[in-house]
Structure 1
Amino acid sequence: MMEGEVINFKRPYVLSSTRTRVMQSLKKDPLILTPFDIPKANRKALIKFEAPIPLDKKSIVIPLNPTNIKASPCTNSPKSSPHKSHHSRTSSQQIQISSFIQTKKMTPSEVLTNFPYHLTDFEKNEIKNYNFSYFIGQDAVKQKSIFTDASGNYIIKPKDHIFYRYEIIQLLGSGSYSQVLKCYDHKKNQHVAIKILKLQPKYRESGEIEYNILNLLNNNTKNETNIIKVYKKLVFRKHLIIVSELLHQNLYQFIESYDFKPININIVKRITTQLLIALNHIHSNNIIHCDLNPENILLKNSNKSSIRVIDFCNACFKNYYPNNCIQSLYYSAPEKLFKLDYDEKIDIWSLGCIVYELITGAVLFNGKNEHEQMIKIVSVIGFPSLPVIDKIKKKYKDFNIQAFKGIPKVSLRKILTNYDINIVEFIEDCLNWDYEVRISASEGLRSSWIKGHRRSLSETPRMINNILM
């Protein structure tokens, strides 16, 4: 072999130093590259050279952004590596440098130049529609073309990207309307929650309404409202997505963590106060939540009792009652069960049920269907008032109040004998048959139980006064 001649090995060369060091030294000092399978005799011959072997610069692949190369030693030969490299197309005349990772904002052309092997054929065209890319899901097993399943849900792939910005970490939950994901925002460097609506038009319309309502509630006051904060609305691969703050466990999980035993009354007061503030803000904007229940109330942190009200996909405006406004059965007000006219006080009924569940650990009305649920309500609250009976009879001509007779009754006061009378009265005021008599959120904030709640000196009364002014 002539001095200065580079042997043409069948395998690509592998760097003997870290990638970062290689890229930093390319312009400074010549490199000595050592192939893995050089026979010992030839290897000794190479070592004897006093001058380093010159390289053909055309055989070295240098990315446009050397600072993006992650430093890590090369330990496996390409042939012995258990995973096929993204650079398997690299020719034998090129130095193989794998796992290039995007670490900063890039234009589509920069991504296509530097990381084409991390994009599917679909993405190579799709990314051109975006101004910038912050994350491309280089470690994900990606869908190549079909992104929606038979039920209309977006097909979730962990570690993949959404909008070339958000990294999918895990699925938090799914429902009849949408899926909720925990994601990482590579632009803002923070965790977020992303709700992806089903593809069908009715679900997208519901998502549009939810976002508009939350945007209204978030932006028309400077006071704390205890309502989830939304960041933006996007459309990704035909699915509407809503980006919001990431919260912790829901109130049902919180109750479960106590083994369904009574929760400290001071914690219950604090949670109830926050819920009343949220409902007061919602109702003062002529909005009805329509589905207030423990699963739609989330804690902001794991070790604190600060809460956020979420999931406004069933919410509606007070002067508009859509047919799809359905409350969860255990927390459904009588006027909803009888399909009568209703207003924002259906949320107050739900609140009364939630407060009872917090202080006892048990569900107050746990009927298996609407008929059984009504029997459960009568057994605790008693017969409806005459104005309510008249409304029911107008709706159902053959309604017979005698059907409620014979139901065993145990009053709420008897069930809660060992509790402060102020708490019992608060729950009773929330669970009045007649929604026109039922207390409002602002009245609840003035109740003797809530007004007596102290967080730190006079913080709670001062906060309530600010809300009610």
Structure 2
Amino acid sequence: TFHRPKNTNVRLIDLGSATFNNEHHSAIISTRHYRAPEVILDLGWWQPCDTWSLGCILYELHRGATLFRTHSNREHLAMMERVCGHIPLRMIRKTRTKYFHNDVLDVTGTDENFIRDTCANLVRKIEDSDPEERELFELMHAMMQFEPAARITMSEALQSPFFNRLPENKSYRVADLHTSCLPRRPGIMDPLRRTAHAHTLDSTGEGEAD
């Protein structure tokens, strides 16, 4: 059953763990299911990890199901490879984590049948989709590149063909957001002023590390 929300306003909340580029970056950030590969591989992170997370959220909004349903780093990486292709060799050789053997992801202990049944390659989805859905999957694919520097920027994402389908007489700009959709807490900087520098939220509900 699909429940259509009566109110589609989006409220931005819980920015207490956001950080600026020049501030301390904790090793583990973001909710498990939306965590970027560079975070799992302990390669350092910056704003593009938010882009990856948004790609995961777009999929979830479209499909009604979480893209990466796991609490294991190894299984999470295996799912990423199933969806996005092979992890780049540069990242494999730079990480100090022990998830690879001879430059190949070691999937020992993962449920390969579950991964195969629940995860589908984004490129295949693009090829098999109708035009409107294809534009959405192309956007997700651009947001979920393994290399952080290769990911689409938020400005570029807003210019994607998928968003160009919005009615021409509408103008959807950050500056036009209704202020009632934003949290008001004493001592907290206006979230719109932090957006350019903010990063993902800290993880909640952690499962096993491996």
Name the structure 2 match of 1:381: 84
C-alpha contact (below 8 Å) 1:329/1:373 kept by paired residues? no
Aligned residue for 2:166? 453
Which of 49, 54, 59 aligns to 1:356? It is 59
Structure 2 residue identity aligned to 1:354 = I
Q: 3-state DSSP class of the match of 2:26? A: coil
Say if 2:45 is the partner of 1:342.
Answer: yes
- Which residue in 2 is equivalent to 1:403? 105
1:68-121 Cα deviation digits (max 9, x unpaired): xxxxxxxxxxxxxxxxxxxxxxxxxxxxxxxxxxxxxxxxxxxxxxxxxxxxxx
Take 2:47 and 2:120, find their aligned partners in 1: how far apart are those partners? 28
Partners in 2 of 1:378 and 1:325 — Cα distance? 20
Distance 1:373 1:397, change over 3 A: closer
Matches within 5 A, 1:205-220: none
Q: String of CA shifts for 1:161-187, please: whole Å, max 9, x gaps.
A: xxxxxxxxxxxxxxxxxxxxxxxxxxx
Aligned residues of 2:78 and 2:107 also touching (Cα < 8 A): no
1:319 & 1:338 partners in 2: Cα distance?
21
Alignment of 1:63-462 (within 5 A): 258=2, 303-323=6-26, 326-392=29-95, 395-396=96-97, 399-400=100-101, 401-404=103-106, 410-415=120-125, 417-419=128-130, 420-454=133-167, 457-460=168-171
Query: Counterpart in 2 of 1:75?
Result: none
Amino acid at match of 1:410: A
**1:430 and 1:438 in contact (8 A); partners too:** yes
Secondary structure of 1:258's match?
A: coil
Is there any run of 5+ residues in structure 1 with no aligned partner, and where? 1-256, 264-301
User: Following the alignment from structure 1 to structure 2, what is the Cα–Cα distance between the partners of residues 321 and 344?
Assistant: 14
Larger-Rg structure: 1
TM-score, with length taken from structure 2: 0.66
Q: How many pairs does the alignment contain?
A: 165
Q: Counterparts of 1:324 and 1:387 in 2: how far apart (Å)? A: 20
Amino acid of the residue matched to residue 169 of structure 2?
A: S
CA distance in 2, matches of 1:318, 1:385: 25
Q: 1:371 to 1:453 in 2, by over 3 A?
A: same
TM-score after normalising by structure 1: 0.32
- Name the % identity: 25
Partner residue in 2 for 1:203: none
Structure with the larger strand share: 1
Q: Is 1:316–1:325's contact at 8 Å kept on the other side of the alignment?
A: no
Q: CA deviation at 1:443?
A: 1.1
- Give how far 1:439 is off: 1.0
Q: Deviations over 1:28-80 (max 9, x none)?
A: xxxxxxxxxxxxxxxxxxxxxxxxxxxxxxxxxxxxxxxxxxxxxxxxxxxxx
Alpha-carbon distance in 1 for matches of 2:19, 2:144: 22
Counterpart code for 1:403 = L
Structure 1 residues 390 and 443, CA gap change in structure 2 (3 angstroms) = farther
RMSD of the alignment, in Å?
3.1
Give the letter aligned to residue 414 of structure 1.
R
Write the letter of the residue equivalent to 2:105. A
Specify the SS of the correspondent of 1:448: coil
Higher alpha-carbon deviation: 322-331 or 402-411: 402-411
